[in-house]
Structure 1
């Protein structure tokens, strides 16, 4: 038994990390402290002014633990790792886990290359450009460089492998000078490569001037195709140059970090400046957790973001000062291997750029709020439309089911869940059919529904006996409406299962026309038509498609692992070749079951003995005949 008062007395006055647990042993908060004794005690002192969010968190703490470190810097690193691993609900969390691509230059090779890289390795033999905010930007840049400077893309070991293989396609389309064949000297290649590095570094003027001169000369010499080629290259370089506007007279690498927030969430905007040029920007959604002040949110963002990115700039320009500024600066400096400055600009160009990032963050937050509001009207409105069609109100949770099998291969079932018109994938469930052999959708559906609701009822009782909230079970949340993929037959199966279990849950069927398109809902023994242009109809279609997709994916995954097999595999003398031949000829198991021995024998790969074995399997009395 955890004695809170006793454990608080034992806390050391040392730096470290503390982890708060709830009564289900989940880590709900991770923090660091210079003195664990002083910091952790603050949470439980009634005299201290605590915010509503902190009060709520403390009410859920059942016990805590701590890890001692030698310094506050070590505590910061450990805190970052633990937050990333456990994602506690009361910590300020970075929602976006983005990785950024770089362009890597292999300077240590005789014939160096340029290619995309996801991380940076400090091997002293490579140079990195970036980060870029999209893979597309990297590919476009590399494509342009290969056209301009004809840098090789192969991984051949040169000059050792020179002449061993024919030149690749890039040589024939004039995007490589084939150093693999010795068609260009090392010195000439290195000169081209050096120019490519200048281009990546933002020095465009010499290239623009050269391309313009070549275009003019080709035009004067009446070589119009060449002139057009130079013109297109010139336009491409100008576009790249326009995107990388100079933002500072100095050539430092820096990130500009600013944010905007509302009651629940925040957006942080980052401008990436490399060698004095703005090469890209990105925004990040933040769950504010227990943070009350903007500085706390930026503090958490900086720790989480720069713990996961391989490149640390020389400077960070920040909208607000960080609470742990000194220790974060030490940590970033250690990661970079050089001093990293944290600056909160107060005037001039620096303040203007931070303000620009702030406006961008506010714009993203505003646009996202409007988008979410529109989405809410669309999704919740669609659920309400479905409810009004069948005379039900207060519907929030919908569950839909589907069965999948492929020509006699064992069936599987799927359960998909929608809440307020949106898929709740954490509540999806899949079932491997245990009691049904062959393609019997009704019997398979009966098994799925029985298992799903029996499991839920059993969990509810176990949680009640343990004195815990029933909502914590994996099957305990029951739907407000069950949606069956089909009409009267499927609905009646569901109602029979619910009646046997003593449950009362509305059930409707999603009825399809002859073209397999939804045409209406079957509810209370009658079909209700749907306006095909309504949001309710679109939601029904999405639910049907999602249930079908989820079942098919599960079935395919089992087949790829060899965990399901055809009923034909149980017949003596029928191996993979004959099974495939039968399915190719008859298309499905029912047609095979109905065929006589003569028709079976006519199938390629089959003979009289195998045909008789198949016929007797399906027509002789016994377990096989009864189950199929």
Structure 2
């Protein structure tokens, strides 16, 4: 691995013109391709202070052994050349947008003599018109089956088409009028192609023209008393309307647009795009990529290159809607307009239908990232690699097969709670999760994070020591009970103060065989007790991903418990505090009457009919409820506020 200064070009050698540059490793492979409006400041930034670079960029510069560049006339040319080189060299340090699944398309092979409609995946072929992508192949087949009533084009394979011609007998679709049977000469190639082109126009959004044409023909047939044909045309119109129903109108103005939504965390970025044609969603697609040092505007710019670089001109819409304006928007618009052959606008919607649609797309991106994380967490190889990496990075004697993570949640030091989540062999063990109500408060009634962490960890380690001493075993399983299993690694959500507080508890309890670290949110740094500087794990390492997932789960568990307690504190029941009315009797009353409002309207005799409620207690309840205002009741079992109805 070469030192960056060994191949650093002198600033005077680097031109200030727009251009594209390539980093190569010691064997000549291209490891990174980038573009710049001015090459000199961009390339100089890689060699000024490598310690200040993003970890992934640091690794790229240190892996490189040489850098070269090509000057171009305009930024648009730089954009085109960068995309071409990325596709040619597939550099390892360029961000790669991986499809979160393989999407099917509805394809019409217009390049053949007799075009065929079919479901198609994979790389796009020349001479084929594509519609989609769709979420499921069965959705394409359902829509195609309905549309064949009006557009009876070929859907069979080349072998089936050839055999039908040899025997002179069409397939079943030809007999039920869902294929015009060009294989046996019922229609010539010219008329069959016209049907295929009409079908493509319909799928591209020009649907109103065909529905209107069929409606006119239906009315004419009815006027001529040809009711059988009128009924057939009516059914054809209904079939087309059902096809249109499957793609809901989302933009009433009939806009052609691609709408992008982005969701990211510290390590990865998920992208979703809805393809809207004629105001209807015609397809959906998604990607997941490892996050680099790029900003969101840079990510969007590279994403648009990836999406539109390989597609044909007909795939680029008039509008591209994005959540944040990309870097070099005018350059991207000029590039897209050149590929489309007409003006393309990149916009950030602020209000109205387009803004609401973008929020929907962003929710899909959020769910896509969550699914990706779950799938990645379930990979046995990745989990094993993560545990081995943590053992290596943290200097542990053994792999951390049991990891416990602690988090604190509160609002300005009040309603303080803590959480403990447990991961065994890289997977969550939810039966071992624990929640803590923090009791310690200062003279102002508040508790800071470090004091809360000290209390929570102290209680957990106290229970560990107690059950270890007693050798407590579960009678049924024979395994150590509850907290008796010690963790190999304790993770706290926070930086050096939280880590030092946790280590202080370990020292007080005499625990020497457990390692504690902290994971700070801002830069995903790993803090170790007593160290002035954090560990920086590689951004794409499975070990860092596992720590992040453990931390996020502890945060989710803590914030959920905190919200429950805060909600209960704000919605106290009118039944609380009534003398002689305990929890069991409150549940019985709520089950019998449903709400406090109905109890308030009941007579003491009606209250006394509830099991466990005597005449005296019923009179007390009636008197207490009549003296209180309309206070919302809480279901003691679920904690939900009950309606007064």
TM-score with structure 2 setting the length:
0.48
TM-score with structure 1 setting the length:
0.49
